[in-house]
Chain A
Amino acid sequence: MSNYVLFSIIVLYLVTLFAIAFFAEKNAKSKWVNNSVVYTLSLAVYCTAWTYYGSIGIAATIGIDFLAIYLGPVIAAPLWIVLLRKIIRLSKQHKISSIADFISLRYGNNRFLGALVTVICLFGIVPYISLQLKAVSETFQILSDKTSYVSTSVYDDSTFYIALLLAVFATFFGTQVTDASEKHKGIVVSVAIESILKLVFFLAVGIYVTYFLFDGTDSIYENMSKSENFESLIQFNGIESGFNWLYTIILSFMAIFLLPRQFQVSVLENVREKHLKNAIWMFPLYLLLFNIFVIFIAWAGNLTIGNSESAEYYALLLPLQNDNTFLALLVFLGGFSAVISMVVVATLALSTMVSNNLVIPYGFLDRFIKSHPERNAKYIKNIRRISIFTIIIVAYAFYVNFSYELSLYSIGLIAFVIIAQLAPSFFIGLFWNRGSSKASIVGIIAGFFVTFYTLILPFSIQALTGSDEFVQNGLYGLEVLKPHALFGIDFLSPPAHAFFWSMLFNILCYVILSVSLKGNYRERNYAEMFVDSKNYTDLQDGALVWKGEAYVAEIRNVLTKFLGESRTERAISLFFRKYDLPQDTQMADARLINFSEKLLTGSIGGASAKILISSVVKEEEVSLVEVLKILEESKETISRNKLLKEKSQELKKLADQLQDANNELVEKDKQKDEFLDTVAHELKTPITGIRATTELLMDDLEEMPSELRSQFLNNMLQDSDRLSRLIHNILDFEKLSKGRTNFKIKRYNIRDTIQKTIDNLSNIANKREITLVHSNKSDFHADYDEDRIMQVLTNLISNAIKFCEAKKGVIVADYKYDKGLLQITIKDNGKGIPEEDLPFVFDKFYQSKNQNIQKPEGSGLGLSICKQIIENHNGKIWAKNNQKSGATFGFTLPFK
C-alpha cells in the first residue's frame, strides 16, 4: 500500500473521530454520552500500543509474563467501589483537575509537591508517549510497500505530522474551557469508540490467525509444543519469575490509579459514581477479551515467521504475509486507535498539570493579578495549548533520538516504575492522617533517584553507547552498587528490581519522616479531610480551618481576574445565600476563603489558588489543637443540627398523628350527630301522627264519622307500636355496637332454628299468600345464640315478605357447609335491590324504596342490627341480586 494512501486513510480516520467528538460535545447531556459503558470503555485507555503490539512480543519471546500487567487492574477493579469512589468524591468536592492537584492538596496544597508530581509524571509519560509514536511509525512502515517514499528528515516524516494532528485534536477538545476540572465529553466518547475499535480489530485478527491460518487453538498448541523453548514460554521459571510476577502485578495495580491518563478518565471524567458499579466487572471483562488471542497470535507468528525481532508486529505481519492487506489495515487502525486515545488523554492530563502545577504557580501569578479576566482566560488556555504541543514534540524528539532501540514493553514498564513513586504519598496518604508533605516530597525524590540509578541510567547509557559496562561493574566498580543487582539482589528483572528498591526507600522515607515531622496545621487539616472524608463532606466549605482577616471586596477582585465579573458576582451571591449571610457582608470567613480557593482551583490549580487568595488576606497561624477543636465543634454543630432535625420531624409526626386522631374524633362526632338527628327524626314521625290525630279526635269526636274515627284510632295504635319498636331497636343497636350484649352461645341445630322462625312468620306470609320454603332436612349443629340468630332470620325473611308480590312470592331458606363455614341464605323472587343501593343496605336507617307495602314499617335499623349480630358471631353477612329476579341475603357462621 502506498504511504500516501495510508496517510490519507489516517487523516480520514482522524476526521471521523473529530466529528464523533464534536457530536459528543454538542450532546454532552445525552444518555448516549453519559453511561457506564462509555465510562468503562474510556477506562480502556489503559490498553495502549503496548497492549496491542507489545504483549504479543513478550508472549512470543519471553512467555506469559505479559498477563501480569492486566492482573493488577483486575485485582484493583473490585476495590474501586471503595477506593475510587472516595477519590472521585474528594476530587469533585475540591474541583481537582489532575493527580498532581490531588496529591498536593492532600498535603496542604503544597506548591512544590504539585510541581514535583508533575515532573515525575513528565519523566514517566513523555517516553511512554514517544513509544506510542514509535509504534505508529513502525507499523506505518510495515504496511506501506517498498515503492513508497522514504523520509529523510523530520519535515517529511509522516509520524511527525500524525503527532501534530493528535496535538491539534487534544488542543481542540481539551482546552474548550478554562476550568480544567470540567468534563471533556468529546475526548471521552472518542476514547470509548477507539476502545471498541481496537478490541474488535484485535479480536478479528486473532480469529483470523487462529481459525483461518491454523485449525484452531489446539492446532497452534500442538505445533508449538514441538519447538525447543516451548516449556519456558508457558511456565513460571522458578521463584525468581514468581517475584517478577508479583512486582509486575503490584506495579500495574498502582498504575491503574496513578497513571495521569487513568486518573483523568476514571476520576476527573466520571459523571456519576454509580457508573463504577458496572465498570468493576465490565473493565476486567474487556481486558480478558483483549488477552484471549495474544498467545495464539504470538505462537502462530513464531511458527510461520519465526523472526523474534519483529515479534511485536506479528498481528500485522501475519495477515500481510497471507496477502490480506485489508485485515492488516484494520489491525493498523486498531493499533492507531490505541495510540490516539493514549496520546490524547495523556497529553491532556499532562498539560493540565504543567499549566496548573508548574507554569502558573511558578511564573504567571503576578501577571494574572495585573491583567483582565478575558486575557487571563486566554493566557491559561494558551499555556495549556503550548504545553500539549510541547509535550508531543518532546515525545517525538525522544522517539527520533532515543527509542529506536527500545521495545514497547520495556519503556512501558519504566514508565510504570516511575509513576509508582507517587504510590506511597497517594495511597498511604488516603488512609493515614500523619503522612506529611515533607515526607512525601523526600520519599518521592528518593524513590525517583533509586529508579533513575537502577533503571533509567543503565538503560540510557546502554541505548546511547551500546556498552553494558555500567551494568556489569556498577558505579566506581563497586559490586554492591551494580544497578541491576543493588546490594547483591540479582535475581529480579531490572524493572522489578528497580521497583523493589525504589519503593523500599520511598516508603521508608515517607513513613519515618511522617512520624518524626509534624506538618503545619493546614496540612493536618487537609489530611483529616482526606482520610476521614466521610465525616467532613458534611462540613463542606466549613471543613477548612482558617483564622485571619480578609475583605470580601479584595477576594472579589481576585476572583474577577479569572472568572469575570458576572460569574464572580453570581458565585459570591450564591455563597451568601447558601450560608444565610447578608449580601453586603464585609469580612470574609473561613468558608468564603475555602470556597474562593475551590472556585479558582479548576482554572489555575490548587496551589496557585491558595497563593492568590492568601495574597489578599492576612492569615494568622492556628495551632493544631485549635484546628482540631474547631473541626470538632463544627462536627458537633452538624450532628446537633441533625438531632434537632430528627426531633422536629418526630414532633411533626406526632402532631400529624394527633391531627389524625382529632379528625377521627370529629368524624365520629359528626356520625354521632347524624345518628341522633336521624333517630330524632324517626321518633318524631309517629309522635307527629299521634299528636295530630289526638287533637282531631279531641276536637271533633262528636261530628266525626265513626268509620273515620276508628281509622284514626287504628293509626294511633300503629304509630304507638312503631314508636315502641323503634325505641327497642335503637337500644338494641346501641348495645350491640358498643359490645355490651351478652350472647348465650350454645350448640343448636340450624335446621330447627330456621324451622322455628318460619313457623313464627307463617301467619304474615299466609296473609299475603307468599310461600315460605324450607326444604333442607340435613342436621347441622353449630354454636350460636339461637334467639339472636332467629332475630336475624326473622328480619331477613320479613324483609323478603315485604319485597315480594302478594300471591306470587316464593321465599326459600337454605343452608350449606362451605369452606369451614355454615352458610345460610334467604332467597326471594321480589323486586330485588336497586344496584346503587346495594353497598348501603346494612347501613343504619337505610330504607328501601322498593317495598311493596304502602309505608315502610321498619325502623331502618333491622339490617344493621343483623350485621352487628352476625359479626358478633364472627360471621359475615351480605346481600346480592339474583340473576333472574329478587334478592338473596346470606350470612355465615363458623362451623366446628
Chain B
Amino acid sequence: MKKIVIVDDEPNIVMTLEYTFKKHDFEVYIARDGSEALQILKDVIPDVIILDVMMPKVDGYQTLKIIKENNKLNNTKVVFLTAKNKASDIEKGLKLGADKYLTKPFSVKKIVSEIKELVAT
C-alpha cells in the first residue's frame, strides 16, 4: 500500500483528501502544519507528501527544505497543493524541488490521477 502524508491546516479540505485517498487504497497520514508533518516523517517514509504553503508555525517552503535535507526521504515525492497560483509562486515551489505544483480549488479526480501517475513512475 502506498503511503501519503497530507499537510494542510484546513480541516474541511483535509477531510475530502483523506476520504478520497483512502478510497484509492492509500495509507493516509494527516498533519496540521509543517512541524506536525516532520514529526510524522520521523517514523513514516511515505511515497508522496501533499503540502500546503500557507500554514502556521512551519510553512510549506520550510517543510520542503527540511525534507530535502533528509536522505531517507530521497524517494519521496512532494506535491504542493496551494491557493497561491501566481507564476512566481509556482516557479519558487518547483525551484525548491517540489515534484508537482497543484493549485486550489482542485478537482478531486484530477488530484488522484496526478498523484497516482507520480507514484507509479
Contact = CB atoms under 8 A, between A and B. Distances in A.
B12 A715 contact: yes
A685 B106 CA distance: 11
Interface string A690-720: 0111011001100000001001100100110
A685 B13 contact: yes
Interface residues of A, number: 25
Secondary structure type dominating chain A contacts = helix
A712 B16 CA distance: 8
B3 interface: no
Interface string A709-738: 001100100110000000000000000000
A684 B15 contact: no
Nearest to B52: A685
Contacts of A711: 15
B107 interface: yes
Contacts of A278: none
A855 interface: yes
Contacts of B9: 855
Contacts of A689: 10, 12-13, 16
Given A684-B104, A687-B105, A692 B13 contact: yes
Contacts of B56: 849
Given A691-B105, A711-B15, A681 B83 contact: yes
B62 to A, nearest CB: 15
Contact of A692 (B83, B84, B106): B106
B38 interface: no
Given A696-B20, A696-B108, A708-B19, A688 B13 contact: yes
A152 interface: no
A686 B12 CA distance: 8
A687 B16 CA distance: 13
A685 B83 contact: yes
A516 interface: no
A854 B11 contact: yes
Contact of A855 (B11, B23, B57, B105): B11
Interface in B54-83: 54, 56-57, 83
A693 B107 contact: no
Contact of B108 (A677, A684, A695): A695
Interface string A735-762: 0000000000000000000000000000
B57 A688 contact: no
Nearest to B104: A688
B42 interface: no
Given A680-B83, A681-B84, A691-B106, A712 B15 contact: yes
B88 to A, nearest CB: 11
Given A688-B106, A695-B107, A695-B108, A719 B12 contact: yes
A700 B23 CA distance: 11
Interface in A597-638: none
A849 B109 CA distance: 32
A695 B10 contact: no
A543 B58 CA distance: 75
A247 to B, nearest CB: 93
Nearest to A691: B105
Nearest to A703: B23
Contacts of A718: 12
Interface in A641-696: 677, 680-681, 684-689, 691-693, 695-696
B109 A695 contact: yes
Interface in B73-121: 83-84, 86, 104-109
Given A696-B19, A696-B108, A684 B12 contact: no
B89 to A, nearest CB: 9
A854 B9 CA distance: 9
Contact of A693 (B16, B23, B84, B109): B16
Nearest to A716: B12
Contacts of B83: 680-681, 684-685, 688
A691 B106 CA distance: 7
Contacts of A693: 12, 15-16
Contacts of A691: 105-107
Contacts of B16: 689, 692-693, 695-696, 712
A688 B105 contact: yes
A855 B57 CA distance: 14
Of B16, B54, B107, which is in contact with the most chain A CB atoms at under 10 Å from its CB?
A: B16
A849 to B, nearest CB: 4
A211 B64 CA distance: 97
Nearest to B83: A684
A719 B56 CA distance: 20
B19 to A, nearest CB: 6
Given A684-B83, A685-B83, A708-B19, A692 B108 contact: yes
A800 to B, nearest CB: 20
A686 B84 CA distance: 14
Contacts of B105: 684, 687-688, 691-692
Contacts of B108: 692, 695-696, 699
Contact of A681 (B11, B19, B54): B54
A222 B18 CA distance: 121
B90 to A, nearest CB: 14
Interface in B1-34: 9-13, 15-17, 19-20, 23
A700 B112 CA distance: 15
Nearest to B86: A677
A854 to B, nearest CB: 6
A708 B20 CA distance: 12
A373 B105 CA distance: 93
A502 B109 CA distance: 122
Nearest to B103: A684
A141 to B, nearest CB: 101
Contacts of A684: 83, 104-105
A542 to B, nearest CB: 61
Contacts of A696: 16, 19-20, 108
Given A688-B10, A715-B12, A718-B12, 18 more contacts: A677-B84, A681-B83, A684-B104, A685-B13, A688-B13, A688-B104, A691-B105, A691-B107, A692-B17, A692-B106, A695-B107, A695-B108, A695-B109, A696-B19, A700-B23, A715-B15, A849-B57, A855-B10
5 contacts: A684-B104, A695-B108, A696-B19, A712-B16, A719-B12
Interface of A: 677, 680-681, 684-689, 691-693, 695-696, 699-700, 708, 711-712, 715, 718-719, 849, 854-855
Q: Which 6 A-B pairs have the closest CB atoms?
A: A692-B16, A689-B12, A684-B83, A688-B105, A691-B105, A688-B104
